[in-house]
């Protein structure tokens, strides 16, 4: 993931997907129709995944993608028809609550997702740093804390440190040289 990962996730989840998911989960088909659709779509999707893996089955992959898209459009169309027929039976408050649940969930999950992304970036950074650091654990810990202090909660700064500073690091680097790297990072970020 890059520094724009969280904004991409938010945009992808708030767009058309919210309305489509709401429609497909609110207005469902009868049980027997659902029991027919699920195995058929599963089989087509599995065939598509297998066809996508081999270069000689590109035509089959394209055909299956078209079939999946056609079936998806048919399902959305049928769902809208069911919704038009049954909209009077809906309780307005329950409908609004069920529409906003995914958005509220997204708002609560986004900070957690950012924390996981931040942790992952720091973990990758420290793994790369360990190859260019002395064996002394105190020195490693001290440098890691300096990096955390310099980068803070910014994924962008962590990525910049990886690209700009790690190539300049070496095992016998002195503390003053490491401080110069940190200063260089701060200058780049301003």
Model confidence pLDDT, tens digit, residues 27-77: 677 888 889 989 999 999 999 999 999 889 899 999 999 999 999 888 888
The pTM assigned to this predicted structure is 0.59
Q: Which residue has the higher pLDDT, 21 or 112?
A: 112
Nearest by Cα to 144 from 155, 157, 156, 133: 133
Contacts of residue 83, defined as CB under 8 A and 6 or more positions apart, other chains included, come to 23, 26, 27
Q: Could you read off the pLDDT of 130-188 as tens digits, one per residue?
A: 998 888 899 999 999 999 999 999 888 999 999 988 899 888 889 899 999 899 888 88
Residue 27 confidence (pLDDT): 65
Domain boundaries, the chain: 5-90, 111-189
């Amino acid at each position: 993931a890059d520094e724009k990962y969280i904004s991409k996730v938010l945009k992808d989840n708030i767009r058309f997907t919210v309305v489509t998911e709401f429609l497909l989960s609110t207005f469902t088909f009868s049980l027997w129709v659902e029991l027919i659709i699920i195995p058929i779509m599963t089989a087509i999707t599995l065939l598509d995944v297998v066809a996508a893996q081999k270069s000689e089955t590109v035509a089959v992959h394209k055909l299956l993608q078209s079939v999946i898209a056609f079936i998806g459009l048919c399902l959305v169309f049928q769902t809208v028809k069911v919704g038009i027929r049954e909209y009077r039976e809906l309780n307005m408050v329950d409908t609004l609550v069920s529409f906003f649940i995914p958005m509220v969930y997204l708002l609560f999950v986004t900070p957690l997702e950012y924390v996981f992304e931040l942790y992952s970036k720091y973990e990758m950074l420290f793994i790369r740093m360990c190859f260019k650091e002395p064996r002394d654990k105190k020195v490693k810990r001290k440098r890691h804390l300096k990096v955390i202090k310099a980068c803070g909660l910014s994924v962008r700064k962590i990525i910049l440190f990886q690209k700009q500073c790690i190539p300049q690091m070496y095992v016998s680097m002195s503390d003053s040289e490491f401080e110069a790297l940190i200063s260089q990072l701060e200058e780049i970020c301003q």
